[in-house]
Amino acid sequence: MISVIIPVLNEEQRIAQRLTELAAMEHIEEVRVVDGGSTDATVERARAFPGVTVLSAPQGRASQMNAGAEGARGSVLLFLHADVALPLDAPHHITAAMEDPRVVAGAFKTWTVDDAGRSRLGPLLHLADLRSRYTRFPYGDQALFVRAEVFRAVGGFPAQPLMEDLELSRRLWKLGRIRTVDARVTVSGRRFLARPVFYFLAVNGFPLLYRLGVSPRTLLRLYQHVR
């Protein structure tokens, strides 16, 4: 069974849609929304859904996702961003991947869209999707899922403000395989469209800088935003 963990910060425009989609899926053990200090109606909208657990944690995805994982009942933990929509058959792909005992984690391919439909840069968004098809180290927007016991064995997400997903993937590969399933999640292109040039450079350059030894806090100063 799958525990879905959603870190949120001011996502009142999206959280209800994500929770509605999850309610229609089978094999979801529980849904845990972890708020990082929203000042809008995110928490109220999440609490309106029966059976959804709403928690709070210090702002930052690593902190919030670790808080959501603590006490989660599922044998698989699925970490879902509020601006990422799963395919309806996502549990099937997760279950199939986990049938291989060598697989400790997995992720989906991405399909990035201009969900507002207002930008002529929309076709360029799919350049970001190439990374999800070839990387061995999944990013958070790929809806990373992990065996619960393995996640806890590696200590969860590292306490760092950026690249927490990349670092977790690196640690997981030491224990087993990470499989990218043959299905895709739909990702909002809102961050790219807000700062196209910067976001393109960040997505493609920050992982390289991180692997070269640049600290997450230095990268955070460049990014100028804690998620």
Average pLDDT along the chain: 87
Q: What is the pLDDT of residues 127-162, one digit of tens each?
A: 666 676 777 788 889 999 999 999 999 999 998 887
From the list 175, 176, 158, the residue with the least C-alpha distance to 167 is: 158
Write down the domain spans for the chain: 2-223
- Domain 2-223 is classified in which CATH homologous superfamily? Spore Coat Polysaccharide Biosynthesis Protein SpsA; Chain A (3.90.550.10)
Q: Assess contact for 97 and 172: CB atoms under 8 A.
A: no
From the list 3, 16, 140, the residue with the least C-alpha distance to 77 is: 3
- φ, ψ of residue 119 in degrees (nearest 5): -120, 140
pLDDT band of 227, cuts 50, 70, 90: very low
Least confident window among 4-18, 149-163, 204-218:
204-218
pTM of the prediction?
0.85
Mean pLDDT of 26-51: 97
